Amino acid sequence: MLITRRLEFDAGHRIPNHDSQCRHLHGHRYALEITLSGQIIDVEGVSEQGMVMDFSAVKTIANEMLVNHWDHAFLAYRGDAAVVAFLATLPGHKTVVLDVVPTAENLAAEAFRVLDKAYVDTYGNQLRLERVRLYETPNNWADAVR
Ligand SMILES: Nc1nc2c(c(=O)[nH]1)N=C([C@H](O)[C@H](O)COP(=O)(O)OP(=O)(O)OP(=O)(O)O)CN2
Ligand SMILES: [Zn+2]
């Protein structure tokens, strides 16, 4: 069985070497779809009976591990020295410095890497992360899969 939880967040980025307007500082309303696989929990009387994982627990973990860190942050490539240096001059600015260019593909891969450690099987139902889909715009997305 597969279940998917969608979350949305806002973040800034730029793709410094891209041959288009994407090289300018700008932002997106990103959407993250987290797909988990597992057996349906059949433990009589527990809160999660009939579920693979409680959707609210999927959200809580995603927020704690990832979304709260990226929401309203500027996602900057470590190699984008001018932007990293500039943002460091803004007191208290929320900047996430990444080792990769913040494309949809790289953000999806990073989200998968972070979240894969976070979803653990507590009911013996083989719970595991299967896919992270990261929408940069409603028309453009990337899938990181196992
Ligand atoms: N494979 C990828 N291609 C592009 C990425 C990416 O992450 N992976 N990112 C960008 C830019 O970040 C850009 O912001 C994308 O948004 P937008 O300019 O709105 O994209 P489109 O022009 O394709 O959107 P429309 O739906 O046509 O308005 C560029 N490419
Ligand atoms: Zn963009």
**Residues 115-130: tens digit of each pLDDT:** 999 999 989 999 999 9
The one catalytic residue among 18, 24, 64, 72? 72
pTM: 0.96
CB 109 within 8 A of CB 133: no
Which domains are assigned to the chain? 2-145 (3.30.479.10)
Classify the phi-psi angles of 79: left when phi > 0, otherwise alpha if psi is within -120 to 50, otherwise beta: alpha
Candidates 15, 23, 135, 140: which one to mutate for ligand 1, based on the most atoms within 8 Å of Cβ?
140
Which ligand has its closest atom nearest to the C-alpha of 11? 2
Catalytic residue status for 22: yes
Quote ipTM for the complex.
Answer: 0.91
Candidates 19, 20, 22, 139: which one to mutate for ligand 1, based on the most atoms within 8 Å of Cβ?
22
Catalytic residue status for 136: yes
- Asked whether the predicted pLDDT for residue 103 surpasses 90, the reply is yes
The one catalytic residue among 18, 22, 64, 69? 22
Given the CA of residue 21, which atom of ligand 1 is nearest to it? 18
Question: What is residue 105's predicted lDDT score, i.e. its pLDDT?
Answer: 98
Question: What is residue 138's predicted lDDT score, i.e. its pLDDT?
Answer: 98
CA distance 2 to 40: 10
Given the CA of residue 18, which atom of ligand 1 is nearest to it? 29
The number of beta carbons lying within 10 Å of the beta carbon of residue 11 is 21
Q: What is the overall mean pLDDT for the chain?
A: 97
The number of beta carbons lying within 10 Å of the beta carbon of residue 79 is 14
Question: What is residue 125's predicted lDDT score, i.e. its pLDDT?
Answer: 96
pLDDT in tens, 23-53: 999 999 999 999 999 999 999 999 999 999 9
Q: Which residues pair with 134 in a beta bridge?
A: 32, 142
Question: What is residue 29's predicted lDDT score, i.e. its pLDDT?
Answer: 98
Which ligand has its closest atom nearest to the C-alpha of 107? 1
Catalytic residue status for 8: no
